[in-house]
């Protein structure tokens, strides 16, 4: 087996706040099918060592950014995990980043993760394992390629994956020394970003290759509307950039075996009707003549929830219903509460995070609504396809790449799988929802749309093959350079 070290701050089934965890947790199985053993380094947040039965110490640090640390090997959900046990940084309550506000020392906490990854890659673990590739995810792992270069290690290839460029890992320049970085790294060609350190920029500049989680987001990243100030940095490395669409875990998300729902399949959707009834009663909804739309989302400005609030009146008036599950920005949570209060029996809301309920929602919903202002990949539209819960999405990023819009041509060609709207504003969403309601009333047309979605290839096969090919090509480059 070839060897790759994945470096991440979240990984299913151990710890999750968003899609990064799903991807980090599913990628290893996909890559195993390509002949790659992926081991995943992440912080030992409280409880994780026990959960992963991680007992064997495979690396030790006398001092990792202010205290002793070690790496413990274990497994969780089939993922080979390496837990970075550094109590001074990670043994505290409050989620991986702190809650409700971020921990003040987050830059240091994740610089430590990146530094540990680089040391492991340079020296290898005590069990004899040493990676050929270091794969860093998001700003939390962004400094790993920089640290690796600092160690003078040239035989390990590096990949930086951007899951969301909105999070840039900013830290005061004064932290350079504490993070163990030389002043020479602090240049505009290096990790300096408007007078601060950006750990994501460090990764974008220093990694051998940059990937992001959909082809459309890859091209959007080079434009000012989406690059969030880093568009120039990305564009300068366009020849090193690619977009690889995420897959989903086809076993966890399988309407035929999902323990949360009455099972159904593309051959018979009967169980879905039962699930719909149950879901409506769970959310206190009744008397819908139109589609039941679900939303499972972080409630943040990225996710376009203001558009939902603005168009819900019309949607409900036309017979539609809404079941919303999410948490996030307190102001947006309040906006959703107002929406539910204004539409009793038609709009139901659960504030919180509930994995089991999310499964029941995909099982019972007619439509999943994803009106994001930007979306690097997005996973819920993929779950929607898998469950015959037709995705209605903003035409951006991975949403644009994974849903085929049901316009007249796509419908008559028999390829449509959902609905897209553009521009990403109230008017376009309202118009799109009118089209959804019209097609919903055509029972056989709607069923065709559902079944086509359910038959899409949504697993990790194609994407892991693309990652494996990228790793190979980078290793080839390293070999010919040395």
Q: Is 223 helix (H, G, I), strand (E, B) or coil?
A: coil
CB of 328 to ligand ADP, least distance (A): 8
Binding to ligand GLC, residues 16-75 (CB under 6 A): 18-20, 23
- Nearest Cα neighbor of 405 from 374, 439, 360, 430 is 439
Strands in 276-375 per DSSP E: 292-299, 321-328, 347-351, 367-370
Interface with ligand ADP includes 326 (CB under 6 A)? Answer: yes
Q: Which does 215 bind (CB under 5 to 8 A by kind): ligand GLC, ligand ADP, none?
A: none
Which two three-digit tokens encode residue 136?
A: 């860093």
Burial grade of 62 (CB within 10 A; 0-12, 13-18, 19 or more): exposed
- 270 to 299: interface string for ligand ADP, x by CB under 6 A: --------------------------xxx-
Contact 395, 371 (CB under 8 A): no
Beta strands in 248-291 (DSSP E): none
H-helix or E-strand containing 7? Answer: strand 2-7
Q: Does residue 203 belong to the site contacting ligand GLC (CB under 6 A)?
A: no
The only residue of 168, 311, 380, 420 in contact with ligand ADP, by rule CB under 6 A? 380
Q: Which one of residues 203, 271, 378, 453 is an interface residue with ligand ADP (CB under 6 A)? A: 378
Query: Which neighbouring-strand residues pair with 70?
Result: 60, 85
Near ligand GLC by CB under 6 A: residue from 378, 384, 453, 459: 378
Stretch that binds ligand ADP, among 32-40, 307-315, 348-356, 412-420 (CB under 6 A): 348-356
Q: Cβ closer to ligand ADP: 298 or 434?
A: 298
Burial label, 411 (beta-carbon count in 10 A; 0-12, 13-18, 19+): middle
Is residue 377 within the footprint of ligand GLC (CB under 6 A)? yes
Pick out residues in 241-280 that bind ligand GLC (CB under 6 A): 246
Q: Which residues have CB under 8 Å from 71's CB, separation 6+?
A: 41, 57, 58, 59, 60, 82, 83, 84, 85, 116, 120, 125
The stretch among 2-10, 117-125, 126-134, 320-328 that binds ligand ADP (CB under 6 A) is: 320-328
**Stretch touching ligand GLC by CB under 6 A, among 143-151, 220-228, 315-323, 376-384:** 376-384
- From CA 196, how far away is CA 277, in angstroms rounded? 53
* Binding residues among 155-194 for ligand GLC as defined by CB under 6 A: 163-164
| CB of 142 or CB of 378, closer to ligand ADP | 378
Q: Which two tokens stand for residue 49?
A: 């060592």
Residue 99, SS3?
A: coil
Compare residues 17 and 37 and give the one whose CB is closer to ligand ADP: 17
Cβ atoms within 10 Å of 444's Cβ, excluding its own: 7
Nearer to ligand ADP, 19 or 304 (CB): 19
The SS3 call for residue 366 is coil
355 binds ligand ADP (CB under 6 A): yes
* Under 8 Å between Cβ of 417 and 411: no
- In 343-379, which residue ranges form alpha helices assigned H by DSSP? 355-364
- Give least dist CB 303 to ligand ADP, A: 7
* DSSP state letters, 19-65: HHHHHHHHHHHHHHTTTEEEEEEEE--TTHHHHTT--EEEEEES-SS
Binds ligand ADP by CB under 6 A, chosen from 327, 411, 435, 456: 327
- Residue 459 binds to ligand GLC (criterion: CB under 6 A): no
Q: Which stretch binds ligand ADP (CB under 6 A): 96-104, 339-347, 371-379, 420-428?
A: 371-379
Using only the alpha carbons of the chain, give its radius of gyration: 23
Answer for which of 22, 249, 258, 366 binds ligand ADP (CB under 6 A) is 22
Contact between residue 73 and residue 58 where contact means Cβ atoms under 8 Å apart = yes
9 binds ligand ADP (CB under 6 A): no
213 binds, among ligand GLC, ligand ADP, none (CB under 5 to 8 A by kind): ligand GLC
Q: How far is the CB of 326 from ligand ADP (least distance, A)?
A: 5
| Shorter beta-carbon distance to ligand GLC: residue 41 or 261 | 41
Answer for which of 18, 77, 319, 445 binds ligand ADP (CB under 6 A) is 18
Rounded Cα distance between 47 and 39, Å, is 19
Q: Using omega within 30 degrees of 0 as the cis cutoff, is the peptide bond preceding 13 cis?
A: yes
Per CB under 6 A, 97 contacts ligand ADP? no
For residues 44 and 400, which CB has a smaller minimum distance to ligand GLC in the complex? 400
Residues of this chain that bind ligand ADP (CB under 6 A) = 18-19, 22, 296-298, 325-327, 353-355, 358, 377-380
Residues of this chain that bind ligand GLC (CB under 6 A) = 18-20, 23, 163-164, 213, 246, 375-379, 398
């Amino acid at each position: 087996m070839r060897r790759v070290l994945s470096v991440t701050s979240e990984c299913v089934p151990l710890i999750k706040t968003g899609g990064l965890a799903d991807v980090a947790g599913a990628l290893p199985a996909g890559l195993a099918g390509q002949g790659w053993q992926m081991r995943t380094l992440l912080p030992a947040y409280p409880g994780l060592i026990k959960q992963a039965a991680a007992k064997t110490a495979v690396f030790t640090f006398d001092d990792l950014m202010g205290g002793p640390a070690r790496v413990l090997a274990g497994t969780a959900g089939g993922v080979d995990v390496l837990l970075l046990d550094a109590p001074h940084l990670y043994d505290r309550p409050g989620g991986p980043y702190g809650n409700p506000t971020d921990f003040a020392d987050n830059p240091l906490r994740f610089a430590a993760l990146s530094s540990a990854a680089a040391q492991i890659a340079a020296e290898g673990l005590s069990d004899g394992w040493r990676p050929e590739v270091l794969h860093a995810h998001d700003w939390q792992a962004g400094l790993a390629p920089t640290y690796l270069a600092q160690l003078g290690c040239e035989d390990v290839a590096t990949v930086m994956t951007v899951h969301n460029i909105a999070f840039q890992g900013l830290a005061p320049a004064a932290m350079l020394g504490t993070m163990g970085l030389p002043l020479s790294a602090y240049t505009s060609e290096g990790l300096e970003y408007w007078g601060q350190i950006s750990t994501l920029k460090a990764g974008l500049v220093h990694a051998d290759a940059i990937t992001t989680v959909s082809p459309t987001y890859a091209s959007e990243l080079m434009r000012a509307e989406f690059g969030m100030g880093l568009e120039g940095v990305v564009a300068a490395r366009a020849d090193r950039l690619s977009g690889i669409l995420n897959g989903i875990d086809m076993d966890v998300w399988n309407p035929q075996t999902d323990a949360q729902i009455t099972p159904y399949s593309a051959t018979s959707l009967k169980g879905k009707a039962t699930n719909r009834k149950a879901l409506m009663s769970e959310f206190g909804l009744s008397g819908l003549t139109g589609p039941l739309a679900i939303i499972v989302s972080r409630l943040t400005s990225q996710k376009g929830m203001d558009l939902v609030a603005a168009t819900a009146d019309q949607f409900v008036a036309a017979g539609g219903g809404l079941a919303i599950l999410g948490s996030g920005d307190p102001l947006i949570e309040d906006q959703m509460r107002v929406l539910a209060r204004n539409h009793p029996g038609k709009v139901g809301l659960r504030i919180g995070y509930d994995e089991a309920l999310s499964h029941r929602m995909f099982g019972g919903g007619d439509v999943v609504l994803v009106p994001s202002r930007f979306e690097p990949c997005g996973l819920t539209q993929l779950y929607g396809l898998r469950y015959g819960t037709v995705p209605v999405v903003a035409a951006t990023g991975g949403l644009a790449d994974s849903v085929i819009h049901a316009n007249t041509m796509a419908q008559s060609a028999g390829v449509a799988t959902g609905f897209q709207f553009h521009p990403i504003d109230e008017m376009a969403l309202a118009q799109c929802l009118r089209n959804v309601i019209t097609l919903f009333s055509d029972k056989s047309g709607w069923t065709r749309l559902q079944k086509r979605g359910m038959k899409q290839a949504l697993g990790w096969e194609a994407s892991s093959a693309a990652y494996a090919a990228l790793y190979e090509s980078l290793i080839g480059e390293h070999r010919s350079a040395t």
